[in-house]
Amino acid sequence: MVKATINGVTVQVPEKTTILDAAKQAGVFIPTLCFMKDLNEIGACRVCVVEVEGYERLFTACNNTIADGMVIHTNSRKVREARKTNVELILSQHNTNCAVCNRNGNCALQKVAGNLNILKIPFEKQISTKKSSHDFPLIREYDKCIGCMRCIQVCDHVQHTHIWDVVNTGARTAVDVRDVYRLEDSNCVLCGQCITHCPVGALRERDDIDRVLDALEDPDKITIVQVAPSIRTSWGEPFGLAPEFATYKRLVAVLRAIGFNYVFDTNFTADLTIMEEGSEFLEKVTKAAEAKAKGEEPEKFPMFTSCCPGWVRFCKGHFPEFVDQLSTSKSPQQMFGAIAKSYYAKLLGVDPSKLFVVSIMPCLAKKAECAYPSMVDDQGAQEVDCALTTREVVRLIRSENLSPVAFKEAEPDMPLGIGSGAGNIFGATGGVMEAALRTAYYLVKGENPDPDAFRAVRGMDGWKEAEFELAGTTLKVAVVNGLGNADRLMHALQKNEVSYDFVEVMACPGGCVGGGGQPIHDGIEMAKDRGQILYAQDAADTLRFSHENPSIVAVYKDFLGKPLSEKAEHLLHTDHHAWKLPQEV
Amino acid sequence: MSRLSIFTESDAQKTVEMLYKDLERRITASQPGLCPVDLASSFLHLCHAQSCGKCVPCRVGLGQLEVLIDSVLDGKATMYTLRTIEKTAQSIYYSADCAIGQEAARMVLKGVRGFRDDYIEHIEHGRCGGVQNQPVPCVSQCPAHVDVPGYIALIHDGRYADAVQLIRKDNPLPSVCGLICEHPCEVRCRRTMVDDPINIRGLKRFAVEQEGVIPAPKKMAPTGKKIAVIGGGPSGLSAAYYLSVMGHEVTVYEQRKKLGGMLRYGIPAYRLPRESLDREINGLMLSGFKAITDISIGKDITLKELREKYDAMYVAIGAHIDRKIGIEGEDAEGVISAVEMLREIGDDIYPDFKGLDIAVIGGGNVAMDVARSAIRCGAASVKILYRRRIADMTALPEEINGAIADGCDVMELDAPLRVEKDENGHVAAIWVQQEIVGPIEDGRPIPVPSTERKDLRIPCDRLLVAIGQGIDSQKFGEFGIPLQRGRIDAFDTSGIADAEGIFAGGDCVTGPATVIRAIAAGKVAAANIDEYLGFRHEITTDVEVPPVRFDDHKPCGRINMAERPAHERIHDFKLMECSMTCEEAHQESGRCLHCDHFGYGIFKGGREEKW
């Protein structure tokens, strides 16, 4: 333990405690800007500088450890002036058009500057004039970047995607795309983690709200909206609503008020994904046994889930040799679009071209996925016309001047508005695996397992492994979340250090609940809490198996036949080679 | 009214003089990877400030060039801009009245030609080709990437054994390097911006001296793989050490009687005492490799036999054969190559030069080594003959000054012409042609024969030739290993094209270089041989580096290494350089700026805890 004094308060903290943490313990708040615990402790913004008695120079609190006997002042004249100057310097290169910034009110720089009572900037404004493409799902506003380097760190160290880097030196040093010149020419997986870790509005999703409003206003269009599982954990956060209040059903009411003709649930197609992907996996296992018996070329394992488009992009860009092991099942978003523009159009008795399908997703990669040339209906039109992130839907609600508090819960439309608890947990790491195992067990044994039998794959660990007995064979599965963990797993597979039968990958830490399209809380990772909401909802649900979803039973009975039928293959499966990443080999 | 007055420097001028010094040091410590176009613009800005303002090309032209280059940097230029820059700079160069404008324009032209690609990259893509990938200057400059800030912090904390352990993770020869490393780590030391670079080598030596008994390294589980290392010099020994630690069974084949290579057979004991070398080698051998000495490849055992007997092979035979000057009479008795003389000394056979006049040909470190050794062998006089100027010698300045202090005469601008033999065929004198220094080519002035000064006859009893070394690579070439001008043609991963399982590194690949480069090659080879054999053993250490100290960086002089006085040291081959004291080491280690933690290091550097 070391003892030190901060602003006159004596604290005793373990060795290696940072000044910042020690100050927190002393009840002293030190402002930070670039800092992000465990991820970006580089002291770049110099906002958290403090004065240490005995030294002329100031030191950053975020990345320096406190030593025994240190006497620290966090609000001395020298500190105040330096801190203020540094924020003023940052502001001199930041386009402070806060009123038209999507981070207005949720901006770390705005907050720091406001708290420091900065009323004017004594420096010349030097704003970057560089612009990025506004067509790509991820947009970089160069004039807002404050060079905190957080995006580089999260891209390098959490996601191992290595898209962002520092380019140039000296005064022209900037954060930009690595190796290529334009983001749209890179193999960016569109996980959006750089956005959720950006302190300001320098990174954002492409805003597609106007396209949705156009469709809503078009009298010839029937608008259909699907809501991804993880949205129900987070959409209420920016309104200050508790998750128990900001439910899926309340969102249904709000979306209806906005004008959507039909409000459905992606949980329905999550269940459908389970039917297809689970059957695909069992078929693969059977084929493998047959091949072994015949001494033929063995099936390649593991099979990988494919519902996360960030992961599919990562696999294509970084591990192309494994692409054929991705499940061919489309993601729930795309299955929904495919079913809506075939089965549901038929139910409504309208031409599919009348339908405008919107999805509300925690994710930017979904914006890219719905626009892949292979994700089209029989008329060649996009199955899903537009994907909005959680943040966009929040902005849509706000721009419609709606107050969610005023809404009562409402029932979604049928038949695509019902999902099981198994579909619900798709939004959290391990959820797809668990849901698949619940149904695989049923398909093999003809009876349901205990719905919690596969809980070993839950939780925030980055790389989870489990073994289950299924029809006399031991299934070895792995679940990874965060592409850094996926990268490690793939390297281990390449070197034959590990072997699995089935692997679930979600690109974002914690799964979709930690998605790059989710509401931003600077410095706080919300995935764990949001994931627990999904599991609690699953536990409370009376419907916990995908195969028991009455709408699933109906869609097979009336339309698809059975899983992996010709029709199912045509509508619900895809070829991952049908489109290419810009730098794909 | 006084007719004359004494010039007194104003306070402003005094300050400017100080700033010049600051800037000089700053440029010295400039990190690699900076945008060259940005630097060109900044240098031009300084050049422009130096203009007296009389003439148009300099007063106006340099400013316009700045505007043009800045437009390149700001992404507002076209290829036409680049042509305008070149044309304008040329006109300024031709028409400026004095060197202020002329040389400024020449700097711009050098840049436009030397890093044209960077100009174009800026014009076409608004980017710079430069990459800042060397965040901790000392660590990146060291070929073996030793954790310099880490071990300096440990030394400052008095944890000397830990400091040496940390060094051994990347460089298994800390004692040797503490004494004779050319310390490229100090070249770009950021402390130079404050005052002077840290004496890194001196601190390393200090730590090693405090270490006590060398602990045996922790060995990994045996792999059953067998590796032959050909050559027991620094590169071979480094590879053998790391490969043994990784659990492989290693045998070193050494041609000479003892291990050490150039460390023993090239570097005289007054710079690297044999006790230190032996202690180091014994420490390395604790890793468990076998050594077979006095064995010649191709004579005692063939390469084919070796290749068949082992799973992999590392060739690190060094550069041990001498080069001839190619002048008349070179075959005279008494003409001795430096390599030959130092080799004998390595086996403790010291030549008796008592009362003899010695001439040395060469201007490199080896020339200084033989010259100073000759003094210690009792020579009556030693003359070092060099065809260029002292300033152009490749030897380190401290070695040249040391040789002079030891009593050697340096005769510059004297090119060897012929060796005069006596009636017994023994060297009687060396004739030299006197040169004058000529035009500069590739940064070095070339010597041109003087038309006025006459050829000189320099009588001598022995002529020591130190004009470079070659590589005894012929047998390897015959075996099918690709050679390039005598050097083994290996990749920078130490692998060799079409020679599976054979790796090479050190002087035999690079040509005569430094010990630290040889060590680094051994380390690289160890990693890649391990990988080749299907493993991925990690070399690491459990030494934990203390947290950084706060410091105000108040300028403080650098502690330099003292040497024994010349009159005393010239009589023996004992270590010439004195150690740092504890007090000195503490002060010197306290000067480290810890670029691993402060600056770009904490962002892109970090600590490589394993390799």
Q: What is the largest CA-CA distance in chain B?
A: 96
Domain presence at residue A217: yes
Sorting pLDDT into bands at 50, 70 and 90, what band is A470?
confident
pLDDT of residue A572: 97
Cβ pair B403, B368 in contact under 8 A:
yes
Nearest to A43 among B42, B553, B602 (CB): B602
Q: How far apart are CA A526 and CA B40, in angstroms?
A: 48
pLDDT of residue B608: 83
A221 and A341 share one domain: yes
- Number of A–B residue contacts, CB under 8 Å: 53
* pLDDT under 70: residue ranges of chain B: none
Give the other-Cβ count within 10 Å of A98's Cβ. Answer: 16
Sorting pLDDT into bands at 50, 70 and 90, what band is A315?
very high
User: Which of A190, A205, A220 finishes a domain?
Assistant: A205
A263 and A354 share one domain: yes
CATH of the domain at A169: 3.30.70.20
CB hemisphere CA count around A143 (13 angstroms): 12
φ, ψ for residue A407 (rounded to 5)? -100, 145
Those residues of chain B whose CB sits closer than 8 Å to some CB in chain A are 33-35, 38, 42, 73, 75, 125-128, 130, 132, 547-548, 550-553, 597, 602-604
Does ipTM come in above 0.90?
no
Smallest Cα–Cα separation from B353: which of B268, B429, B428, B462? B462
- A181/chain B closest Cα distance in angstroms: 7
Burial B252-264 (b: 16+ CB within 10 A, else e): bbbbbebbbbbbb
The amino acid at B115: F
- B321/chain A closest Cα distance in angstroms: 44
Nearest to A169 among B35, B552, B604 (CB): B35
Domain presence at residue A129: no
Q: Which domain holds residue A153?
A: 138-205
Residue A40 has which token pair? 């970006």
pLDDT above 90 for A208: yes
User: Which of A146, A179, A205 finishes a domain?
Assistant: A205
A178 and A291 share one domain: no
Domain presence at residue A446: yes
Burial B330-360 (b: 16+ CB within 10 A, else e): eebebbbbbbbbbbebbeeeebebeebbbbb
A40 and A111 share one domain: yes
A311 and A443 share one domain: yes
Place of tokens 């919690």: A452
Place of tokens 């002292």: B390
- Model-level pTM? 0.91
Which residues make beta-bridge pairs with A386?
A358
Q: How far apart are CA B509 and CA B494, in angstroms?
A: 9
- Tell me if A55 and B550 make a contact (CB, 8 A cut-off): yes
Residue A1 has which token pair? 């333990």
Sorting pLDDT into bands at 50, 70 and 90, what band is A473?
confident
A110 and A147 share one domain: no
Domain presence at residue A123: no
Q: How far apart are CA A57 and CA B593, in angstroms?
A: 13
Which residues make beta-bridge pairs with B448?
B436
Residues of chain A contacting B597 with CB distance shorter than 8 Å: 63
Alpha-carbon distance values, A463 to A121, A155, A301, A480 (Å): 48, 18, 18, 4
A123 inside 8 A of chain B by CB: no
Residue A525 has which token pair? 């990772």
Residues of chain B contacting A44 with CB distance shorter than 8 Å: 603
Q: How far apart are CA B590 and CA A12, in angstroms?
A: 27
A43 inside 8 A of chain B by CB: yes
Q: For A196-252, where are the E strands, in sequence order?
A: 203-205, 222-227
Give the other-Cβ count within 10 Å of A237's Cβ. Answer: 19
DSSP annotation string for B364-416: SHHHHHHHHHHHHTT-SEEEEE-SS-GGG-SS-HHHHHHHHHHT-EEE-SEEE
Alpha-carbon distance values, A240 to A405, A521, B515 (Å): 10, 12, 66
pLDDT of residue A277: 96
Residues of chain B contacting A168 with CB distance shorter than 8 Å: 35, 38, 127-128, 130
- Tell me if A57 and B553 make a contact (CB, 8 A cut-off): yes
Smallest Cα–Cα separation from A15: which of A69, A89, A58? A69
Which residues make beta-bridge pairs with A177?
A164
A281 and A147 share one domain: no
Residues of chain B contacting A130 with CB distance shorter than 8 Å: 75, 126
A 357-396 residues with CB below 8 A of B? Answer: none
CATH of the domain at A55: 3.10.20.740
Give the other-Cβ count within 10 Å of B565's Cβ. Answer: 9
pLDDT of residue A401: 96
pLDDT of residue B426: 96
User: Which of A205, A229, A248 finishes a domain?
Assistant: A205
Residue of B nearest to A174 (CA): B127
Cβ pair A436, A542 in contact under 8 A:
no
Domain presence at residue A132: no
Burial class of residue A371 in the structure, from the number of CB atoms within 10 Å of its CB (0-12 exposed, 13-18 middle, 19+ buried): middle
Q: How far apart are CA A484 and CA A155, in angstroms?
A: 9
Place of tokens 């404004």: A125
Torsion sign (Cα): A293, A299, A305, A307:
negative
Considering only residues A289 and A346, tell me which one the structure prediction assigns the higher pLDDT: A346
Smallest Cα–Cα separation from A354: which of A366, A344, A363, A367? A344
φ, ψ for residue B93 (rounded to 5)? -60, -45
- A463/chain B closest Cα distance in angstroms: 22
Smallest Cα–Cα separation from B51: which of B37, B69, B65, B72? B65
Residue B387 has which token pair? 């065809």
CA B325 to chain centre: 24
Smallest Cα–Cα separation from B49: which of B91, B5, B1, B101? B101
pLDDT digits (tens, 9 = 90+) for B321-336: 998 899 999 999 999 9
Please give the domain boundaries of chain B with CATH numbers for all domains.
34-125 (1.20.1440.230), 148-215+544-553+570-605 (no CATH), 226-320+471-532 (3.50.50.60), 323-468 (3.50.50.60)
Task: Name the domain count of chain A.
Answer: 3
A255 and A186 share one domain: no
Residues of chain B contacting A64 with CB distance shorter than 8 Å: 547-548, 550
Alpha-carbon distance values, A55 to B156, B195, B553, B554 (Å): 19, 19, 10, 11
A352 and A414 share one domain: yes
pLDDT of residue B235: 97
Which residues make beta-bridge pairs with A32?
none
**Range A496-524 average pLDDT:** 96
pLDDT of residue A585: 77
The amino acid at A86: N
pLDDT above 80 for A62: yes
CA angle B18, B20, B22 (to 5 degrees): 70
Residue B371 has which token pair? 């010259």
Domain presence at residue A151: yes
pLDDT above 90 for A509: yes
Sheet holding A262-265, edge to edge: A262-265, A222-227, A355-361, A386-389
- B342/chain A closest Cα distance in angstroms: 48
DSSP state of B485: T
A180 and A227 share one domain: no
CATH of the domain at A580: 3.40.950.10
Q: How far apart are CA B416 and CA B490, in angstroms?
A: 35
Residue of A nearest to B122 (CA): A168
CA angle A429, A431, A432 (to 5 degrees): 110
Cβ pair B204, B211 in contact under 8 A:
no
- Give Cβ neighbours of residue B572 (< 8 Å, ≥ 6 apart): B270, B376
pLDDT of residue B128: 87
Alpha-carbon distance values, A305 to A495, A504, A512 (Å): 21, 5, 14
Candidates A169, A181, A185, A495: best to mutate against B (most CBs of B within 10 A) is: A169
The amino acid at A63: N
- Tell me if B128 and A172 make a contact (CB, 8 A cut-off): yes
The amino acid at A498: V
A540 and A508 share one domain: yes
Alpha helices in B115-192 (DSSP H): 116-125, 137-141, 148-156, 160-170, 174-180
Sorting pLDDT into bands at 50, 70 and 90, what band is A467?
very high
Q: How far apart are CA A32 and CA A60, in angstroms?
A: 9
Domain presence at residue A546: yes
A196 and A218 share one domain: no
Q: How far apart are CA B482 and CA B524, in angstroms?
A: 20
